[in-house]
Amino acid sequence: MRSILADFHIHTLLSPCAEIEMTPHHIVMRAAEFGIGAVAITDHNASANALAAVKAGERYGVKVFPGMEVECLEEAHIVVLFDTLKQLNAWQQLVDGKMNGLPNNAEKFGGQFVVDDDDNFIREEQRMLLAPVGLTAAEVVREAERLGGMSIAAHIDRPSYSIVGQLGFIEPGFGFAAAEISAAGWKNGMQSRLQRLAGYLPFVTSSDAHNIMDFVQGPKNIVTVEELTIAELKLALNHSSGRSWRAGCFADFQEK
């Protein structure tokens, strides 16, 4: 077994709300610098920068889980994670068929940029990514699981864009692997208040970073697993077979 500091909710500059500094290469380079051994790239309804992140991860020795932050029909955010780019590509095809087709207004929402693993510009995404897709929360969880992935209910302590905020609670057995609490929610001790509303799911804490300092200083998890796979992460969340997951890990990192 080995223990890894991990962050499973990070945005690149493909997300219109992220800073231009959030290139896949920069994220992975900083992860390596600060001892963050595993990250997940989770842009809004899009995944075109995942390949660059995976390539950068191979160079820096950082495990990169390809993923996405999906906005479901109920206008709640769900983080989906996969083992492989092939799985993520199949997921993207499903999401593409459920998008509203409206163009992005870069002046209003921000640009949406695809780059390679050396930060070279490839293209600008023209579709509006900040919008719900035509998949219910239940469909997101079910389809991600069918493709071999796992789903996390994002920032459930927030009143907007969360399953708890939109629906009031998460039914036990809904299918989520975990529920995420934001940095502010964790520091304010909302875990006990949210347990019942979250259907007693295990909690995770990730940065939901849109800039580098939020990534470096944001909450992390310490996962103890034999290898970094979705199957192992699920075991760790349930503290099964010697695996474990500790959320709420904040480090006093300073930018170098």
φ and ψ at 8, to 5 degrees? -110, 25
Contacts of 129 (CB under 8 A, 6+ apart): 14, 15, 16, 43, 44, 45, 46, 104, 112
The tens digit of pLDDT for each residue in 175-188 reads 999 999 999 999 99
Number of H helices and E strands in the chain, helices first, is: 10, 11
- The pLDDT, as a whole number, for residue 256 is 43
Helix (H, G, I), strand (E, B) or coil at 150: strand
Q: For residues 160 and 62, give the distance between their C-alpha atoms in angstroms, rounded to a whole number.
A: 32
Task: Examine residue 129 and state whether it is found in any structural domain, yes or no.
Answer: yes
Number of C-beta neighbours around residue 161 at 10 A: 18
Containing structural domain, residue 92: 2-249
With a cut of 70, which residues of the chain have pLDDT below it?
252-256
C-beta separation of 78 from 8 below 8 A:
no
Residue 247, CB-side half-sphere exposure with 13 Å CA sphere: 24
CATH number of the domain enclosing 105: 3.20.20.140
Task: Examine residue 48 and state whether it is found in any structural domain, yes or no.
Answer: yes
First to last CA, the chain: 31
Task: Examine residue 256 and state whether it is found in any structural domain, yes or no.
Answer: no
| Residue indicated by tokens 């600060």 | 34
Task: Examine residue 254 and state whether it is found in any structural domain, yes or no.
Answer: no
Task: Examine residue 150 and state whether it is found in any structural domain, yes or no.
Answer: yes
- The pLDDT, as a whole number, for residue 253 is 55
- Structural domains of the chain, count: 1
Question: How distant, in Å, are the alpha carbons of 39, 57, 81 from that of 224?
Answer: 15, 20, 18
Task: Examine residue 241 and state whether it is found in any structural domain, yes or no.
Answer: yes
DSSP code, position 1? -
DSSP code, position 151? E
